[in-house]
Structure 1
Amino acid sequence: MKFKKWFEQLGPGTLVAAAFIGPGTVTVCTLAGVHFGMALLWALLLSTLATIALQEMTARLGILTQKGLAEVLRDTIQQPILKIMITFLILAAIVVGNASYEAGNISGGILGLETLLGVWIYDIGGIHFNMMSMVIGVIAFILLYIGNYKFLERALVGLVLLMSSSFVLAAILTKPNLFEIVKGAFLPKVPSGSLLTIVGLIGTTVVPYNLFLHASLVKEKWTSANELSIARKDTVISIGLGGLVSMSILIAAVAIPSNDITNAADLAESLTPVYGHFAKYFLGIGLFAAGITSAITAPLAAAYVANGCLGWKASLQSKRFRAVWIFILATGVLFAAIGFKPIEIIKFAQIANGILLPLIVGILLWIMNHKTLLGKYSNSKFKNAVGIVILIISIFLGVKSIIAVFGLL
């Protein structure tokens, strides 16, 4: 009964964890483990704690105002030009960004399936077409089209638990050195050549669109200040579980005998000779679950953002809401199926996200201190101090990501 009650209380936070543990996170964590061993575990621990702090703020805001973050920004920012600029930046970073990243989410799910079932590529009119993208697209479409929040939540909670158990078991199979894990997590170290990897580890965990997604999701589940403690527990457990998954991927990657690794599918194949087929299957299932959960949450977040920015007041089942996520999902399925990578759009999205993260963290801190809006539930001094540290880190991350896009680093 205790497990059932605990399971039922999980919700929006798990969807946020599902969103940030996508194929990009899996790949960055894999490469961090391969090239730097346990030395960068601290970056994952730091980014997980930062994510918990930010997501708790957005969850509190969503429950108390019963509005999404984009809606709150529209209502709070009075200066017309500033409002237009921020709305454009949010739409560019989240809607355009998620459309360009969606192919990567689906491709990650495909890698997981191919690890388990082999390759399903067919030649149609001279174009190589990966049919597994259609499988993932159809599953994502059905879950989103049903338009029932509770059903979607249960499905994603199940997928996250599947993903979590898969990656954690894969890490356990490699019999890691516990002393090295503790040292890597609690003694920060920056090995030579690791700076961009650290930026990647933090950047794939502290994600701008999750702030918008979380604030919109909590109001689907909770409606009063009395439920804030449940929402806080959901956030801590779910994001903490997400951080554990990321660390497990890095730990499993440390065991690889070769440096010739580019993604988690390579990781699965490399672990097989040493740790048996179980390692391959655990990682394949985990990568599939990571891909499909992100393939669902990215279109969902884009639809919520468009809904809030454009003032639609639409529901999960409305035509406008569905039109946005169908566009994002269809674009991702098509690009993943033919192997097309919209590099310029992805670069544009990375720049927009690099600017958006510190901007949104700064505005969020400002809003969370609005006594007229939040009353006694506004930020404490401690939460503000934590928020300021995160803001400084997010500015550093944003600058580094923009510099990296222009090839200056």
Structure 2
Amino acid sequence: MNKANKTPNTNLLQKIWLWMLGIGPGIFCIGYTIGTGSVTSMAKAGSEFGMQLLWVLVLSCIFSWVLMEAYGRYAVVTGQTSIYSFKTKLKGGKWIAYLVVGGIILAQWNSLSGILGLSANAIYEMVIMFFPGLSGDSYWPVLGIAIVLILLMYSLLWVGQYSFFEKVLIVFVTIMGISFIISMFVVLPDPAQMVKGLVPSVPDVPGGRLLVAAFVGTTMAAPTFVVRPLLMKGKGWGPSHTREQSNDALTGAILMLVINLSIMAAATGALYADGKTIEKVMDMVYILEPVAGKFAVALFMTGALSAGLSSVFPILMVAPLLVADYKEGELDIRSTRFKVLTGVACLVGLTVPALGANPIFAQILTQVAAVFVLPLVIACILYLVNQKALMGEQKAGFWLNIGLITAFIFACIISYTGALALIELV
């Protein structure tokens, strides 16, 4: 009798776990896009402007879905990867590949330093919140935490198995999603604000354009799409997995929208009405505490930490993945090159904690920088998925082309907006 009762529960848990493993490449995409960059941008926007920038988030997630579908379809139909295809199938492809790889690595490594700084600060502030007597000079404790975190992530990369990386990310993403969604319901904002936020508008204040560009930079992240074919190759997906690929793209985009929306809504409900804003990491803790209580804030910060760790893992991998893609078009996670390049990324990641810089501002700037390579990444896949010699009957149809063209126009507008925002800072 006991055995009979236990089997259905076990089967249900197994089904949930298998379902999450089935969206493995999508989990990596969430790791790239929803990190402390998203937490920073969404929380800061929610605290300052309420739900006004919800329309940017929705559009970014829709276009992310379109791009994941395009890159994923190209991967499973042709069996080829992004950068290698750019190099071999586009006119001037070698230079295009250099530009994409260089732009993505630069943006991701810069982002890594801000992510690590935010994650270390999040742990330190959570400890201080429950043990106030430990407060004092935060520089050395934060730097020490950052070093421990990056060494832990680096040691996990030495396992060298794609399936293992997937499982680690599933744990981080699950904790992150549950934490943020519960936090949103603790301080749920007025639903009318959410509806109003779907009407396009840009905050007419200093820094408004910067946040719009950061929103797109953190949600429509170029490595999300460019690395996707390589990850699918590592998972063993081919022409018979076109449906799984499409489901993976849609599920990944929906999860990105739900988690980012919950962060923005939590900050809006807790801070916006009282005119409180976020400038430093500790603001995300102490400003929320009177509204949500210590344990609700700890839940939110647990989500922020999980977001950071879920991003550190794939970002450490981005340089060796792209270099391997350029050279051989193969997923190589056991080579000396992989271990050396991930080690260099670890050292770069310690920059913000070592300098004691404000990770909030550093993170937003790096997210803005990420938008400039987007139009090129979209234009390349738009060309490739329309080549009948490569795609056959799976060549992009009317709706996919409309989606890609609209995404390209949107990316160009946001790149221009990001350029204006950076000029305003000079």
With the length of structure 1 as denominator, give the TM-score of the two structures: 0.89
- For residues 235-287 of structure 1, the C-alpha deviation after alignment (integer angstroms, 9 at most, x for no partner) is 21122112111111111111213434225642232111122112211111111
1:133 and 2:152 correspond: no
Deviations 1:306-342 (A, max 9, x none): 1122447461111112222221122213543443689
Out of 318, 337, 343, the residue aligned to residue 301 of structure 1 is 318
Counterpart in the other structure of 2:266: 252
Contact 1:265 1:284 in 2 (8 A): no
Amino acid across the alignment from 1:200: A
Superposed CA deviations along residues 197-252 of structure 1, whole A, max 9, x for unmatched, are 22221222111122122121111113322212112212211221121111111111
Match of 2:48 among 32, 35, 47: 35
2:282 & 2:303 partners in 1: Cα distance?
A: 10
1:379 alignment partner, SS class: coil
Matched, 1:143 2:156: yes
Residue 196 (str. 1) matches residue 213 (str. 2): no
Q: Equivalent of 1:168, from 164, 169, 181?
A: 181
1:177 to 2:172 alignment:
no
Give 1:73's aligned amino acid.
F
Confirm or deny that 1:262 pairs with 2:283.
no
Counterpart CA distance in 2 for 1:399 and 1:32 is 20
Partner in structure 1 of residue 307 of structure 2:
290
Matched, 1:52 2:65: yes
Match of 2:228 among 193, 198, 214: 214
- What's 1:279 paired with? 296
**Superposed CA offset, 1:21-69 (max 9, x none):** 1222211111211121122212111111111110111112222233321
Q: Under a length normalisation based on structure 2, what TM-score does the superposition of the two structures give?
A: 0.86
1:394 aligned onto 2:411: yes
Deviates more, 1:189-198 or 1:233-242: 189-198
CA–CA distance in 1 between the matches of 2:34 and 2:45? 15
Over 3 Å counting, the alpha-carbon distance change for 1:190 and 1:102 in structure 2 is: closer
Q: Which residue of 2 aligns with 1:232?
A: 246
**Stretch of structure 1 that moved more, 175-184 or 221-230:** 175-184
Contact map agreement 1:56 1:235 (CA 8 A) in 2: yes
Instruction: Assess if the C-alpha contact under 8 Å between 2:87 and 2:326 holds in 1.
Output: yes
**Secondary structure of 2:424's aligned partner:** coil
Deviates more, 1:57-66 or 1:111-120: 111-120
Residue pair 1:358, 1:394 contacting (<8 A) in 2 also: yes
Q: Which amino acid aligns with 2:407?
A: I
Cα distance change, pair 348–319 in 1 and its aligned pair in 2 (3 A): farther
Q: 1:67 to 1:143 in 2, by over 3 A?
A: farther
Letter in 1 for 2:146: S
Residues 40 and 363 of structure 2 are in contact (CA less than 8 Å); yes or no, is this contact kept in structure 1? no
- Once the two structures are superposed, what CA deviation does each residue of 1:150-171 show, in whole Å capped at 9, x if it has no partner? 0110110110111111111111
Shift of 1:404: 2.8
Judged with a 3 Å threshold, the aligned counterparts in structure 2 of structure 1 residues 21 and 121 are, in CA distance, closer, same or farther, namely farther
CA contact (8 A) 1:121 1:130 kept: no
- Find the aligned partners of 2:19 and 2:318 in 1 and give their Cα distance: 25
> Which one-letter code corresponds to 1:236 in the other structure?
L
Match of 2:225, as an amino acid? L
Letter in 1 for 2:307: A
- Report the number of matched residues: 401
Structure 1 unmatched ranges of 5 or more? none
Name whichever of 212-221 and 333-342 sits farther off.
Answer: 333-342
Name the CA distance, whole Å, in 2 between partners of 1:97 and 1:379. 29
DSSP-derived class of the 1:130 partner: helix
- 1:259-408 to 2 correspondences below 5 Å: 259-263=276-280, 265-311=282-328, 313=330, 315-339=332-356, 353-407=370-424
The 1:204–1:59 alpha-carbon spacing in structure 2 relative to 1, beyond 3 Å, is same
Say which SS state the counterpart of residue 215 (structure 2) adopts: helix
Inter-partner Cα distance in structure 1 for 2:293 and 2:367 = 38
> Could you say if the C-alpha distance between residues 277 and 341 of structure 1 is closer, same or farther in structure 2, counting changes exceeding 3 Å?
closer
Equivalents in 1 of 2:35, 2:121: separation in Å?
Answer: 12
2:122 matched to 1:106? no
Alpha carbons 2:124, 2:141 under 8 Å: kept: no
What is aligned with 1:8? 21
Would the alpha carbon gap of residues 404 and 122 (structure 1) be closer, same or farther in structure 2, given more than 3 Å must change? same
Contact 1:97 1:349 in 2 (8 A): yes
Cα gap change, 1:128 to 1:338, in 2 (>3 Å): farther
Contact persistence 2:213–2:417 (CA under 8 A):
yes
